[in-house]
Amino acid sequence: MRFQFIEDHSREFSVVKMCRVLHVSQSGYFKWRKHKTSPQELRRRSIKKLITEIYEDSGNIYGSPKITKELKKKGYNITERTVGIYMQQLGLRSCVSRKFKVVTTDSNHDYPVAPNKLNQNFTASAPNKVWVADITYIPCREGRLYLASILDLCTREIVGWRLYNRMETKLVIDALNDAYQARKPEKGLLHHSDRGTQYASKDYREKLQEYGIEASMSRTGNCYDNACAESFFSLLKKELLQGRKFKTKHQAYTEIYRYIEFFYNRKRIHGSIGYVSPVQYANQFYLNLPA
């Protein structure tokens, strides 16, 4: 701003000459100097600065609901509507979902199918009581990729995942192994998945039995039976992919690793668990464990 430039250099140059060179009136400059910013305007500026910081820290993902929650944690009493207005003024927009569907479930097989023991009860009393698993397609210019993940239904944390170029049984077994080694759950944990060949295969069923994990599977053609697992993939595609393709498999792995391990698990707040991250929510349970 020209007035600010004149103010910053008033000790070096004549104000009259600077006003003439910059084509501004002296009266306008002195009027600007006398103007005092109101407390309300200072508060608005402070909030807008914080909104921008929170938005950028989320990777340009958060919309007004989550930003409002973050502001309230910092002591600002503000409505979601006001945050939405400020975001509009700042030109900030949350990412928008795009339709993206590649079939990754082949339930046309002769393997045994476990009953639906979860029965759309998407709650768990503590971590490592219920895990939900699924596979999704990841677009990549260098070749197809498939992501298998295991989500803890209590904390919403991704406790195991693998990214391979083939949708085979090894993909889901390795994701399960990662989850088991990381969490060491007690026997009796419920594992829910769709009826795909990978999850119904003999090798996968034997691995579940080895770990003392109880199997549950969705009903045929009912996507709502595994809604939480599919919800995670929807978030990943909305917030990370946003309609684009990775150039290389290395780029895909690196960005998915960062999204899951650094952002989704440790930073991204979730409404279903009190607007904290999965790791923060899980820590509430682990800190209260008996010595």
DSSP β-bridge partners for residue 149? 134, 161
Is the pLDDT score of 13 beyond 90?
no
What pLDDT, on a 0 to 100 scale, did the predictor assign at position 176? Answer: 97
Residue 262 pLDDT grade (very low, low, confident, very high; cuts 50, 70, 90): very high
Q: Which two tokens stand for residue 161?
A: 């995942």
What pLDDT, on a 0 to 100 scale, did the predictor assign at position 109? Answer: 57
Query: Averaged over 258-282, what is the pLDDT?
Result: 93
278 DSSP assignment: H
DSSP-assigned letters across all residues of 146-174:
EEEEEEETTT--EEEEEEESS-SHHHHHH
pLDDT digits (tens, 9 = 90+) for 106-140: 556 567 889 999 988 888 999 999 999 999 999 99
Q: Which residues contact 228 (CB under 8 A, 6 or more apart)?
A: 122, 132, 151, 153, 156
User: Could you tell me the CA-to-CA distances from 229 to 133, 226, 234 in Å, in that order?
Assistant: 6, 6, 9
Is the pLDDT score of 97 beyond 80?
no
User: Could you tell me the CA-to-CA distances from 173 to 39, 134, 205, 270 in Å, in that order?
Assistant: 59, 12, 10, 28
77: exposed, middle or buried (Cβ count in 10 Å: 0-12, 13-18, 19+): exposed
pLDDT digits (tens, 9 = 90+) for 167-193: 999 999 999 999 999 999 999 999 999
DSSP β-bridge partners for residue 217? 193
| Count of other CB atoms within 10 angstroms of residue 215 | 19
- Does residue 29 or residue 257 have the better pLDDT? 257
Q: Which residue type is seen at 249?
A: K
Residue 100 pLDDT grade (very low, low, confident, very high; cuts 50, 70, 90): very low
258 DSSP assignment: I
For the chain, percent of residues with pLDDT exceeding 70: 91
Is the pLDDT score of 41 beyond 90?
no
What pLDDT, on a 0 to 100 scale, did the predictor assign at position 105? Answer: 53
What pLDDT, on a 0 to 100 scale, did the predictor assign at position 102? Answer: 47
The residue among 133, 98, 93, 126 whose CA lies nearest residue 218 is 133
- Residue whose tokens read 């009393």: 125
Q: Which residue type is seen at 128?
A: N
DSSP β-bridge partners for residue 216? 192
What pLDDT, on a 0 to 100 scale, did the predictor assign at position 236? Answer: 92
Q: Do residues 208 and 215 touch, judged by C-beta distance below 8 A?
A: yes
Q: Do residues 2 and 24 touch, judged by C-beta distance below 8 A?
A: yes
